[in-house]
Structure 1
Amino acid sequence: MTSFARFCICLLSIIVALFACAMYQHCITDDRLDLPFVYTHVLNPFKRVLPKVLPPSMTQGTAFLDVIAFMANLRNRILDNKAPLELDTVHKDKDGKGEILRYKKDREQQSQGEQNGKRKGALIYIHGGAYAFGSPEGLSGTVAEIETETGKELFFIRYRLAPQHRFPAGIQDCIGMVKWLFDNSEDLGITKNDIQLFGDSAGGSLVTIIAIELLEQSDLYPIKGVHAIYPWYNMLYDLPSAYEFSVDPAGVVNQEDLAPFMAIYFFGEATCSETKELNQHMTQNVQRKYRSAVKELGIEEYIKLLEDKIERFKSVEKQETGGIGDDEHHKCAKRYEEFLLKYQNNILFTPPEKLKLLNKTHFNIYSCEIDILRDDTYVMVAMLESLNISHTHIHTENCYHASFNDNTLAGKILQEKVVACMSSL
């Protein structure tokens, strides 16, 4: 058989596989999402098939992230999201550990405002992307509406990403840049007592961590408000929403994507992913801390309900044993242990006295109904309620993960809710 014939057969096989996946995806896609057919029924199945047909060397580390980045760019084009923002650098760490940027505006208008001596409040945006991709420019065209409707100055933080920079590099960068902005607020012409943080997905987790860390010195860093948008708080057991939307109807992040993202963030490559996929990544030490934290937080009944729900999901799924032995799983779990014990990776492990620091700010947390990370928010809300920590939980039904940055109906609804909360503070 000629090389051309082999190529044609391979190409035909890929087309058939994609078509089969698209038809499967058609059966489970939620029509409420108002997303293009080509995105939910073709692009997401293609993204799921690709790692299975490519050699492992092309689906780990930077190669895996390159594929994700390509899909994200294609996704933006399909959804007609606005072009990347044009941003000016306000401050850059000399060692490359973070950067603060600002939206390019009419300089004449800006200088007139500064001459009038008017000080504004500020909003600091921290992007998501599983700590491994994304950028400040990714807020897309929503920035103009946010600035106009809130009347506040909008800043962005660029932080170091995995796999080149693993945990906790990104967290350290964000804390350093937020501190710099507070310390230099007078020179920037902003009101120090009117600074709010907001971020989505991993960015939602980051703004929560920053607030907890900096509010210990609330006299120096009086964060006025925090807006955690569908945050990624949990790297322990998969929660019910991870099973309910194991294949994301919106085609953003599937259950099988979480494991390589975690491994890349911790280890710099997608090693030990299978151990996480099978929820074999928790050592006995981590499990003991998990049980202790649940008890200390007073959410045992709630967690029991979640665990019962998880078991029901598992009972209707085909359980795979995995391609590696128990010894390998034990070795991988040991590698995960030091990372999983950190509260920055699992909000459940936050000491209650640290969590109570959120009472010093206005803490707003946003969840979407059709979201693999929906229950991360629900667990956090249960913790806050149990500890009597002041907060506002805003839930949106016809909403999906990553919708905040999308030019869709769901995106606009969520953006309006976030802007309304920002403006009310």
Structure 2
Amino acid sequence: MMSLARLSVWLLSIIVALFACAMYQHCVTDDRLDLPVVYTHIVNPFRRILPKVLPSSLIDNGAGFRDAVGLVMKLRNVILGNKGQLELESVHKDKDGNGEIMRHKKDTHEIEQRGQKKGAVVYLHGGGYTFGSPEALSGSVEEFETQTGKELFLIRYRLAPEYLFPTAVQDCVQMVTWLFDNSEDLGIDKTDIQLFGDSAGGALVTIVAIELLRQSDLYPIKGVHAIYPWYNMLYDLPSAYEFSVDPAGVLNQEDIGRYISFYLHGDASCIETKTLNQHLTQKVQNEYRSAVNELGIQAYTKSLEDKIKNLKSAKKYGTDNVGEEKHKKCAKNYERSLLNYQNNILFTPPEKLRLLNKTHFNIYSCEVDLLRGDTYVMVAMLESLNIGHKHLHTGNCYHGSFNDNTSAGTILRGKVVKSINSL
């Protein structure tokens, strides 16, 4: 139960957001989006100003941060008319608490009447590896069951900062492996299982597929659908500068810094190191250049070259309040994780990436998205290595729209449903 003091802080934050919107033009809109005015004038500024007005003791830990995000999500859901939660039931929970598989709760009669095996779609949620759950997003993905005729499963994985990289990856690999191994008992056709996920979940479905397709006879993933995936924790791509202020109020540079600090470092102490582009050691920079050259995708990353040569020119967000030595320490702590392809798709060995040829790989991007460039670089890599894929781009959608009751969300989900049904 939220204390009176904390509730007062939330209410004060809303008032400040409204004031900021009216007086300091914190309302950011984009003609390509169909977001209601009340959203752009309340939720968007509230979302942007929240980290600045709340005490760090409230949001620099996992529980407090998830409380804050949860409040914003509830406000978004009400204003956008997003669907409520489904009634879920647990299918399997690891005995050590390392992940859980859930599904839409069925009545006994429905299960008995089914008879023949069904295909399955498995959803991995986004949230920067720090927040989100099957329950929170289940309403918007219900149509993947009703419109595909397949069984819908949702994966719960452990979150940062309590659980650092690679915990989320390990949990998801373990849960999807269990689903395949127990498909017979679940009445699922193991040759008709597809994965889909958005943002961090889009990266997770890609990595899970790469790991499991090494044994494609045991884990024949039929399709993978990565929706505006977060593939890159390295240099800011051009879209990150284009949408440094997110018109949809969903994702900004400070969020990226927080997610990386939580996921790779376990606390909030290294947020500024990323927002100031000081998070890459010389070794990581060298590996980046080497990967770009070996893949022959310089044309796709040309706009980054000036920033690579002179990182100081890329300092665009925030004020340096911690100093150079702190940044060096954070960058060194990040180094090993950043070089891992499970965090940065650019570092995936070609032989591993080519495993995606054993499935149908679909990748979806939105025009108004800070992470749009992540998809473009991935597509460049796939084309460079002659890996089969399908790229579907939507011009009027934004990061986070996949779960929203807006025209952008409807169009985007419709594209994914159509792709699933086509396989």
TM-score (norm 2): 0.91
CA contact (8 A) 2:276 2:314 kept: no
CA offset digits 1:279-326 (Å, max 9, x no partner):
000000111111111112111222113446999xx9799676612222
Corresponding residue for residue 252 of structure 1: 250
CA distance in 2, matches of 1:194, 1:421: 13
Deviation, 1:267, is 1.9
1:273 to 1:309, Cα distance in 2 relative to 1, 3 A:
closer
Equivalences for 1:162-177 in 2 at 5 Å? 162-177=160-175
- Work out which of the residue numbers 336, 340, 343 in structure 2 matches 1:342: 340
Residue 198, structure 1, aligned to residue 196, structure 2: yes
Corresponding residue for residue 113 of structure 2: 112
CA distance in 1, matches of 2:240, 2:353: 25
Deviation, 1:193, is 0.8
Equivalences for 1:328-407 in 2 at 5 Å? 328-407=326-405
Which letter does structure 1 place at the counterpart of 2:50? L
Corresponding residue for residue 303 of structure 1: 301
CA contact (8 A) 2:89 2:104 kept: yes
Deviation, 1:225, is 0.4
Corresponding residue for residue 29 of structure 1: 29
CA offset digits 1:124-151 (Å, max 9, x no partner):
1111111111111233433442212211
1:83 to 1:15, Cα distance in 2 relative to 1, 3 A:
closer
SS in 1 for 2:127: coil
CA distance in 1, matches of 2:133, 2:17: 33
CA distance in 1, matches of 2:114, 2:14: 58
1:323 to 1:86, Cα distance in 2 relative to 1, 3 A:
same
CA distance in 2, matches of 1:351, 1:24: 47
CA distance in 2, matches of 1:332, 1:288: 18
CA distance in 1, matches of 2:287, 2:263: 22
Farther-moved stretch of structure 1 (82-91 vs 136-145): 136-145
- Work out which of the residue numbers 179, 184, 195 in structure 1 matches 2:182: 184
Deviation, 1:83, is 1.1
Deviation, 1:253, is 0.9
Deviation, 1:12, is 9.5
Deviation, 1:109, is 2.5
- Work out which of the residue numbers 274, 284, 306 in structure 2 matches 1:276: 274
SS in 2 for 1:50: helix
1:316 to 1:272, Cα distance in 2 relative to 1, 3 A:
closer
CA distance in 2, matches of 1:158, 1:140: 12
SS in 2 for 1:141: helix
Structure 2 unmatched ranges of 5 or more:
1-10
Corresponding residue for residue 103 of structure 2: 102
Farther-moved stretch of structure 1 (168-177 vs 105-114): 105-114
1:28 to 1:47, Cα distance in 2 relative to 1, 3 A:
closer
CA distance in 2, matches of 1:290, 1:375: 16
Corresponding residue for residue 5 of structure 1: none
Query: In percent, how many aligned pairs have the same letter?
Result: 71
Structure 1 unmatched ranges of 5 or more:
1-10
Corresponding residue for residue 224 of structure 1: 222
Deviation, 1:46, is 2.2
Corresponding residue for residue 8 of structure 2: none
- Work out which of the residue numbers 262, 271, 286 in structure 2 matches 1:288: 286
CA contact (8 A) 1:204 1:227 kept: yes
1:236 to 1:187, Cα distance in 2 relative to 1, 3 A:
same
1:141 to 1:278, Cα distance in 2 relative to 1, 3 A:
same
1:81 to 1:32, Cα distance in 2 relative to 1, 3 A:
same
Which letter does structure 1 place at the counterpart of 2:105? K
Which letter does structure 1 place at the counterpart of 2:395? E
Which letter does structure 2 place at the counterpart of 1:99? E
Deviation, 1:411, is 0.5
Farther-moved stretch of structure 1 (328-337 vs 272-281): 328-337
CA distance in 2, matches of 1:288, 1:316: 17
Deviation, 1:108, is 1.4
Corresponding residue for residue 93 of structure 2: 92
CA offset digits 1:19-73 (Å, max 9, x no partner):
2335655664103311122322222222322322333323312223321222112
Which letter does structure 2 place at the counterpart of 1:84? Q
Which letter does structure 2 place at the counterpart of 1:358? L
Deviation, 1:192, is 1.0
Which letter does structure 1 place at the counterpart of 2:73? A
CA offset digits 1:74-97 (Å, max 9, x no partner):
211221111111111111111111
Which letter does structure 1 place at the counterpart of 2:164? R
SS in 1 for 2:147: helix
SS in 2 for 1:353: helix
Corresponding residue for residue 55 of structure 1: 55
CA contact (8 A) 2:84 2:139 kept: yes
CA contact (8 A) 1:89 1:100 kept: yes
Farther-moved stretch of structure 1 (202-211 vs 240-249): 240-249
Corresponding residue for residue 326 of structure 1: 324
1:140 to 1:24, Cα distance in 2 relative to 1, 3 A:
farther
CA distance in 2, matches of 1:265, 1:318: 23
TM-score (norm 1): 0.91
Aligned residues: 411
Deviation, 1:17, is 6.5
Corresponding residue for residue 122 of structure 2: 124
